[in-house]
Amino acid sequence: MVNYRYLGNSGLKISEITYGNWLTHGSQVENDVATQCVRAALDAGITTFDTADVYANTKAEQVLGDALKGERRASLEILTKVYWPTGPGGPNDTGLSRKHVMESINGSLRRLGTDYVDLYQAHRYDTETPLEETMQAFADIVRQGKALYIGVSEWSADQIRAGAALAKDLGFQLISSQPQYSMLWRVIEDEVVPASRENGLSQIVWSPVAQGVLTGKYVPGQPLPSGSRATDDKGGAKMIQRFMNDDVLGRVQQLKPVADELGLTMAQLAVAWVLQNDNVAAAIVGASRPEQVAENVKASGVEIPAALMSQIDEALGDVVERDPAKTLEGAPQTRVV
């Protein structure tokens, strides 16, 4: 079963393995399979479910809401996000303006079939809206009881500090950051994690298995597995492209002895690795089959000895991306319409 961790400087506990439905619900898998995956997550003790209004252009929220119908609401932590374009893509259908934030929370609640979400997250930083406007909107949503807590996703250290200061002035706090983080992608370690610690945030990390690369299923010189993320033309192949070279894939193969020594699959090792960081509250895992959920949960509670952590670093060497500037490099400089 899954262990639980406090989220940031709050009293909220979430399951350290969190179920996410990016790239799956409403797009890659049929709704009945998505429901089976959610049921498998619940059966494994996962209580925390992460989604966003932009996933499958709002369909993912609807699928998740339908799959959770009948569950005791107080026993769940439902997380969603706002920023990216939704709907027909009008001029105010994106960003973190008060208008878009207020309309988006109402839409998310309707699709999820709930009166509130446990965590509402700014899916990116909006360079075109005053931060004061965005934070005031979040403060009002908290006071209205539509969201219990507020977080951010892929914000830089400076943005986190500025947002946390404004939140404090407005009488609430930011408690979480949702960045990409894995053995191969460690750009948050030098700046985002220290800024988060200073301001009472912890990380809910996405892509701990590096879009599947850390499973070891991609072998240098061999054809891509049929149906894998690297062959997905709905967005998966583009996301995984940065890791798809023989140097990275060859070094990943060197992690198998570490996984074997711990009695883990390589995917479980990857998830367990991110959970060794004490600023990480949870790792988000997705699934296209129910059995994948049960396998991922086995990473919960695993402690990797220091010697094996060093062996992982040695195996991966200089293919690990550590540059903190990558957080801003991958962020939209203007609103995406």
Rounded to whole angstroms, the Cα distance separating 77 from 293 reads 17
Rounded to whole angstroms, the Cα distance separating 315 from 253 reads 9
Rounded to whole angstroms, the Cα distance separating 57 from 66 reads 16
Rounded to whole angstroms, the Cα distance separating 183 from 176 reads 20
Rounded to whole angstroms, the Cα distance separating 306 from 248 reads 23
Q: Clarify whether 55 is annotated catalytic.
A: yes
Rounded to whole angstroms, the Cα distance separating 69 from 99 reads 29
Is the Cα torsion angle 67, 71, 74, 76 positive or negative in sign? Answer: negative
Buried b (16+ CB within 10 A) or exposed e, 293-315: bebbbbbbebebeeebeebbeeb
Non-local (6+) Cβ contacts of 177 within 8 A are 151, 152, 153, 155, 160, 188, 192, 196, 201, 202, 203, 204
Radius of gyration of the chain from Cα atoms? 19
Among candidate residues 4, 6, 19, 55, the one labeled active-site is 55
Q: Is 143 within 8 Å of 98 (Cβ atoms)? A: no
Catalytic site positions: 55
